[in-house]
Amino acid sequence: MQERIAHGHSLRKGRVSEVGRIYLVTTVVRNRRPIFLDWLLGRLLVSVMRQAEQQGRVDSCAWVIMPDHLHWLFRLTDGTLDGLMRDIKSHSGRQINRAGGLGASFWQAGYHDRAVRHDEDLKAIARYVVANPLRAGLAARMGEYPLWDAAWL
């Protein structure tokens, strides 16, 4: 089996951070460990995301925490995208490692981001984001899956 080469550093090429812009961000747990099958550990990540909202750094549009990664659609309202993601991953990683008795680095390096164009349908993107558990076979309907939220749904 060929070893996967990490390419987190290449994800930063051409990245621009713009306050007021809407981003769709995906970040992955190191080695794709399905840590968030324990929904209580997922709630720790939700708590850190909510803190960023309370601090005025983001306005969340939609998010879903899958067993081994996060999809988050939000408007950046203060600071930089890199600063936000560094803080989210750092704070959540410490809390999750402590609560789950994990000792290793939690998040994979880097993250994938896509700036949403102004003419794109945010509700359609939000529906796509929160439907991930359905497509993955983790739930038959959204009400069965505990780790998601959307402003319009």
CATH number at residue 66: 3.30.70.1290
Band of pLDDT at residue 24, cut at 50, 70 and 90? very high
Residue 10 lies in a domain: no
Whole-structure pTM value: 0.88
Q: Which helix (H) or strand (E) holds 126?
A: helix 122-130
Is 149 a domain residue?
no
pLDDT in tens, 101-121: 877 789 999 999 999 998 889
Report how far residue 90's alpha carbon sits from residue 87's, in angstroms, rounded to the nearest whole number: 5
- Residue-wise pLDDT tens digits, 33-81: 999 999 999 999 999 999 999 999 999 999 999 999 999 999 999 999 9
pLDDT at position 12 over 60: no
Q: According to DSSP H, which parts of 37-121 are helical?
A: 39-54, 81-100
Query: 3-state DSSP call for residue 90?
Result: helix
Helices (H), 8-80: 39-54
Per-residue model confidence (pLDDT) at position 2: 42
In-domain check, residue 17:
no
Provide the domain limits for residue 70: 22-140
